[in-house]
Amino acid sequence: MREKRSASRRISDHAIAQRSLVLTVLSEDHDELWSRAELEQELHDVQLPVIADALERLRDGRVVELSDDQVRATRCARHLNDLGMVCI
């Protein structure tokens, strides 16, 4: 089980949060659709308000689609990933 970090030691960098979210939603070891709760659990080192802001920014940039509590990568993001243009 993962250890939870104190709020003061959690990541607050918006760019890091966005990159982490993109890599997470493009992960091949999970269904295409993610719940926000799953993403928050997966990115346990990132502050919750930073995750929320990052999701909004990625939605505005048409990298992810948000529907109620569900998140998925856009077709464009998936295509770029398939071309090998999204990587660590």
Look at the domain 12-82 and name its fold: Arc Repressor Mutant, subunit A (1.10.10)
Tens-place pLDDT, residues 26-76? 999 999 999 999 999 999 999 999 999 999 999 999 999 999 899 999 999
Question: DSSP character for 11?
Answer: B
pTM of the complete model = 0.85
- Band the pLDDT of 87: cuts 50, 70, 90: confident
CA angle (37 as vertex; 36, 39 as ends), nearest 5: 65
Instruction: Give the start-to-end residue ranges of the domains of the chain.
Output: 12-82
Q: In degrees rounded to 5, what are phi and psi of residue 87?
A: -155, 170
